[in-house]
Amino acid sequence: DDNVIREFATINRGTAQDKGATRIGNDNLLMAYTHVAHDCVLGDHTILANAASLGGHVQIQDWAILGGFSMVHQFTRIGAHSFAAMGSAIGKDVPPFVMVSGSPAEPRGINAEGLKRRGFDATAIKLLKDAYRILYRSGICLEEAQKKIKALCAGQPRLGILPEFLRNPARSIIR
């Protein structure tokens, strides 16, 4: 419901080799020339800017934004509240709340401005910045970072999606 799908956007149906459906949630914006390949799943309130393209079996969680001409490799997951800059080439999972850019895409920080717009308070944003430092700046292995982030996000229901996402990466995570 309430999706805006602009001119020349393409959405492919699902295949018999997967779930057989491409699913698009509510309140999404697919700008001109965007491409959603077969068996993709888009959550709610996502934005795919002009000519953003998804390979097959991509999952995009709620409130994620892909900049114009971004490309996402098949079987990749894009976490909730994440942001990909224009022209990003995404070949690995993007954790929730993280901003990425480049080709190949690299992590650039937390999507703090988007989180403020969605009502996240200063405490939650600080915790996410701490989680980002643990994941990307501490130099520890992913398994140890997962444990620390889980402890950091405990008692914060809105932030619990981060340790859950990190628990089962599909194509590894951008690191």
Which positions are catalytic? 38-39, 56
> Would you give the distance in Å from CA 94 to the centre of its chain?
5
Token pair of 66 as six digits: 């892909």
Pairing of strands 59-60, 41-42: parallel
Give the end-to-end CA distance of the chain in Å, rounded to a whole number: 35
Give 102's contacts (C-beta < 8 A, 6+ positions apart): 85, 88, 89
DSSP for residue 120: -
